[in-house]
Amino acid sequence: MKTVIEGRGLKKSYKMSKKNIINALNGVDIIVEQGDFTAIVGPSGCGKSTLLHILGLLDSPDEGELIIDGMDASRLKEKKACKIRAQKIGFVFQGFNLIPSLTALENVMLAGRYGGLSVKERKEKALKLLADMGLEERANHKPAELSGGQQQRVALARALINDPAIILADEPTGELDSKTSLEIMEMLKKINQKENRTFLIVTHNNEVARTCKKSIVLRDGKNISN
């Protein structure tokens, strides 16, 4: 099986004041293989989101190595990191992070622009992805006109438009009710199985974690299982 992400001894701390330093990661080792559908779990403050942000090149480790698709990505300049994010990684967030003034279609198309797609390609792909999400008739609706579950489906379509090999999801069901949460997880699983995309999902929800094939458990900034 191909390794798509490998982290070795990842450390990250945040200086809140002269005397207050938070050690978010204390030497995490992680291997993610192509097609994995993995939950990252652990108590609040254990470093789950920090780890996901580093793996997604939204942040850099203070120490340690990060290899993405065979390339050393530990300390990339922002321009290069941005290019890799656009080409290889899709993000899904708890708060959806949709632009309120744009329609569902426009939100998805915007991500395609960052991926270098032409206007025609962006529109065609965005419409197909929204149709795949059961949102064909909601394409011209703005986020405020959509339910939480519908907004998360738009966010998922946005994450998929550039055909990333890796999807990183930070508490993707955190703002949804139980029924909608399971529907979203089923949708992620189908994409994983059908397209062999790799999913890493941060969650505090045990029910969500149980739907994943693997779990990485963090505690005090260290992984206690992988």
Q: At 143, which CATH number?
A: 3.40.50.300
Q: What is the pLDDT of residues 187-211, one digit of tens each?
A: 999 999 999 999 999 998 888 899 9
- Stretch 73-93: mean pLDDT, rounded? 88
Query: Tokens standing for 174?
Result: 């955190």
pTM of this structure: 0.90
Q: How far apart are CA 68 and CA 137, in angstroms?
A: 37
Instruction: Write out the residue range of the structural domain in which residue 33 sits.
Output: 3-225
Q: DSSP assignment of 166-218, as one string?
A: EEEEESTTTTS-HHHHHHHHHHHHHHHHHH--EEEEE-S-HHHHHTSSEEEEE
Q: Output the pLDDT for position 75.
A: 82
**Is pLDDT larger for residue 85 or for residue 141?**
141
73-86: buried (b, 16+ CB within 10 Å) or exposed (e) per residue? Answer: bbebeeeebeebbb
Contact between residue 151 and residue 99 where contact means Cβ atoms under 8 Å apart: no
Least reliable range by pLDDT among 79-83, 157-161, 197-201: 79-83
Place of tokens 């990339």: 76
Q: What is the pLDDT of residues 8-35, one digit of tens each?
A: 999 999 887 777 888 899 999 999 999 9
Averaged pLDDT score across all residues of the chain: 92
Total of domains in the chain: 1
Say whether pLDDT at 83 is over 90: no
Q: Output the pLDDT for position 185.
A: 93
Q: State the CB neighbour count (10 A cutoff) for residue 191.
A: 18
- Stretch 149-156: mean pLDDT, rounded? 95
